Structure 1
């Protein structure tokens, strides 16, 4: 397995558009993408991206322009991404679960020159347009009726079909430099989306191990070497299936890496995760690299594999299964290995802000229980920013190496998350660990109130604001509670006025009307008071204990807590 040195030679000027152009010239007839019944070779993939890039240029887009992609995993997502890279534009990842208010906020922040979305999400785009001006170029991908109003015809004024933008003559390949940017918007700990700002050069440098670490090759030092590796027929062919959406860094970066290798990217046919479709796709397409999101995806996947329905599915070709930033239990790892005995399971401790910080690697049942080990360049630091090395002590994960520039237009937050220590720049998103010795660590969690549920970040204050606007609700607190599948579940504790009659179902419905579905509380407790301190604060540790006590009777009776429990 290759080491992780920095790039050298002309890879100092690495840009994904330039690399992908070179790979497309080297393997034009190889399949690049299989999605929604469409199969594109590398030549076809490059040509469609070049035609869209030509339309972008004709509409005034260029370097530093932003292109908003409000879409689930589709071939058009990749084409738009590639087209933006070809002209030095910055793609903006938008959560396709957003409602109009959330979409408008992100559009206002990113100020895109173009927006690409499927017809199923037209209602959210229409609602956003009532709050913020849409860009002059809006392209619509036909994928069926609107998500929340299947019988409603939704037209976006000025929008054009996506395919009409592919009628332009292809833009000739233009060498792009490493300084062009890639934004990864993340909810972070403030609830207001922030853009982590990568450059192409830094991102490619940080991905060297992920791209080449499992191959019997030396790390390339030139674009010619990158192309030769991608074109080699004697190397294992990468077939990558991302099950999480590409709006998340782990899925996006692994898809980009697969294209660097001249591999094939496979997408499921629908936005909603279907474990049966996933099992079929793995077997049918010979998937070798599977991207998951911890228990939230692996649980339903192995349930299908363990059932009579999945008994005939051959997924033994899986070589690597990757997850990042999510709870992935040893039990589910063991069950998955029973069906994919040759797979290496890689549980990554990372963040949109940078890393990786640690890896938990499982090559077989003997590697369980899985323990994360610090990655090269990662250290544990105290709040005073000094090394923590004694076994049993706690500290925060930090990483030195290739990393983003910081948060876009947020120098104070950047300085906090990317401190310079003794002349060396680190990234520290705030993850706490306990040192176990020999490089191993035990994860303790993020030192903030953010709820990480199924790979989605939920800021409690955003949900609390909706709850407090509900008639009859006089106080509310939202927090995350442990859950074996989702890692954490959003839990609401609300206080209502006497006689208000507010039900847990009303609380859930109200949040669902205003915010994305994953922000809806899965558990709701209605209580008499929150026992705030004189300063107005809630003792969260005490509240967690109280909720545990409230849920105990329901758990004892049914084996699991009622997801909408009303307690007085």
Structure 2
């Protein structure tokens, strides 16, 4: 027995094998079903030479087979590599090379792209092909790279649990694209991952759990949970595993669709949803309001907990949710792939922050000053970098330089410091201001984009926005707003600036406005700031006088 992802799942299987574990569409898999299927796939991977420490890419949308692939990989002490299914050829080549992938479990619809990149990766020899979660009839050719259909791979394989003993020190990697730069593989010991992302430390009390504490709950009445983000996103994967460890039912969908989401909440009596800020919250509440206006609202009375993380949940959108779901608990959670859970705040309808999420810091989380010293939480108003000690990643895979810059040692204790800035508030809370690498330095003043974005989203014409810094001859950098408007709306720079004066200091106001069709975000709703900056610069260049 070990504090290992595979062991923790198996404890839940042993406690309540007939509990429903996953539901995707009309398919339901019990804990016993997941156990048998993941054992079969694990034995197939072993037969292909995949062993402890080998890297297995999972290139798929949300599906039961996706979850089976994660479990099968960790059961044989191999390492999962999450793949963004939106990648183009160059990005996929980079990931397969950087991650030293030896096997891939992939949806058939990606066969053409895999056929192009596979010859570039000598280590990559095993290809298990699962049906596409949206187009199961896809029959793309898989012969060019020696693909094996999932059904053929598991046929005849043992469903028994007869694997070698595992360790809490086994490595679990999550690749994070973040908002800038190339993806980086964050290496976690299994125990540390469980502690900070899988519920191994109680998020509410900060108390550490024992190995069997979660599985002991599996015979109690269980929740129906619905993470809306793709499992390729670390937060969704962690939420799934945490609920599997405790015997809950998790509903998954391969594609985010607001109408379908509400239909599932109504049909399956979902009690808890996880979403990625406004990117999901706004279209969801708009669909809910639309249906309500017809006189036949969705029945979402089962929903009692609504959690947002990884992106801004802006005040106007949050208020609309709270107006509709007056009895639900709303939480903002903060953290990063490099830190795990850093803090959580219960949201009060009468005190919604307009600056950023206001949360209580989690266990071992601190705010560091410019000398990497913890700032006393009594120094209200001080701004510093969020950091977490205690259970900290080993580092970035094959990147000692970035590891040294992010995972610091202060007075003999290791901290993970990914670069998010926060302001200390009263009662031991902090306001999250955003990633320091995106900070705009204008005339010597620091402007945190997420604070300005929160204010801009309050304007009735604005659907979505990102704020970036662009070169400015006078101020060094100027605040630039890239905005997606609501259908039929118009907005001029001076009108926006006038609106924002009631919410922001003068130096934080945008000096340029670029209106675009769609704000650049990845599949999980995370902001793509480099793309937004390119849009702002292109708009500036187009507006410049000729010659």
- Change in Cα spacing, 1:25 to 1:313, as seen in structure 2 (3 Å) is same
1:408 and 1:250 map into 2 onto residues whose CA distance is 19
Q: TM-score, normalised by structure 1?
A: 0.75
Q: Specify which of 93, 100, 107 is matched with residue 111 of structure 1.
A: 100
2:189 and 2:70 map into 1 onto residues whose CA distance is 15
Q: Over residues 205-262 of structure 1, what are the superposed CA-to-partner deviations in whole Å (9 max), with x where a residue is unaligned?
A: 22465885579x9864243x433222234xxx12221111111121110000110110
User: Displacement of 1:141 after TM fit?
Assistant: 1.7
2:481 and 2:282 map into 1 onto residues whose CA distance is 27
Q: Specify which of 349, 362, 371 is matched with residue 365 of structure 1.
A: 349
- Change in Cα spacing, 1:258 to 1:117, as seen in structure 2 (3 Å) is same
Q: Specify which of 373, 382, 390 is matched with residue 393 of structure 1.
A: 382
In the alignment, structure 1 residue 319 sits paired with structure 2 residue 304: yes
Q: Which residue of 1 aligns with 2:504?
A: none
CA contact (8 A) 1:21 1:173 kept: no
Secondary structure of the corresponding residue to residue 284 of structure 1:
helix
User: Displacement of 1:486 after TM fit?
Assistant: 8.5
Secondary structure of the corresponding residue to residue 54 of structure 1:
helix
- Change in Cα spacing, 1:486 to 1:376, as seen in structure 2 (3 Å) is farther
CA contact (8 A) 2:9 2:245 kept: yes
CA contact (8 A) 1:323 1:347 kept: yes
1:145 and 1:290 map into 2 onto residues whose CA distance is 22
Q: Specify which of 206, 222, 227 is matched with residue 242 of structure 1.
A: 227
Mapping of residues 354-503 of structure 1, within 5 Å: 354-362=339-347, 364-369=348-353, 371-389=358-376, 390-449=379-438, 482=453, 484=457, 489=466
In the alignment, structure 1 residue 227 sits paired with structure 2 residue 210: no
Secondary structure of the corresponding residue to residue 129 of structure 1:
helix
1:260 and 1:541 map into 2 onto residues whose CA distance is 48
Q: Over residues 394-424 of structure 1, what are the superposed CA-to-partner deviations in whole Å (9 max), with x where a residue is unaligned?
A: 1111111212111122223222211111111
2:119 and 2:463 map into 1 onto residues whose CA distance is 34
In the alignment, structure 1 residue 66 sits paired with structure 2 residue 55: yes
Q: Which residue of 2 aligns with 1:465?
A: none
Mapping of residues 17-36 of structure 1, within 5 Å: 17-36=6-25
Secondary structure of the corresponding residue to residue 14 of structure 1:
coil
Secondary structure of the corresponding residue to residue 235 of structure 2:
helix
User: Displacement of 1:94 after TM fit?
Assistant: 0.8
Q: Which residue of 2 aligns with 1:563?
A: 516
CA contact (8 A) 1:100 1:126 kept: no
1:554 and 1:33 map into 2 onto residues whose CA distance is 48
2:118 and 2:415 map into 1 onto residues whose CA distance is 40
- Change in Cα spacing, 1:302 to 1:448, as seen in structure 2 (3 Å) is same
In the alignment, structure 1 residue 164 sits paired with structure 2 residue 152: yes
Number of residues paired by the alignment?
A: 476
Q: Over residues 433-488 of structure 1, what are the superposed CA-to-partner deviations in whole Å (9 max), with x where a residue is unaligned?
A: 2222322222222111499xxxxxxxxxxxxxxxxxxxxxxxxxxx9994738975
Q: TM-score, normalised by structure 2?
A: 0.78
CA contact (8 A) 1:27 1:42 kept: yes
User: Displacement of 1:151 after TM fit?
Assistant: 11
Of 55-64 and 304-313, deviating more is: 304-313
Of 154-163 and 108-117, deviating more is: 154-163
2:147 and 2:397 map into 1 onto residues whose CA distance is 28
Q: Specify which of 116, 123, 127 is matched with residue 138 of structure 1.
A: 127
- Change in Cα spacing, 1:120 to 1:556, as seen in structure 2 (3 Å) is farther
Gaps (5+ residues) in structure 2?
441-448, 485-489, 500-512, 518-538
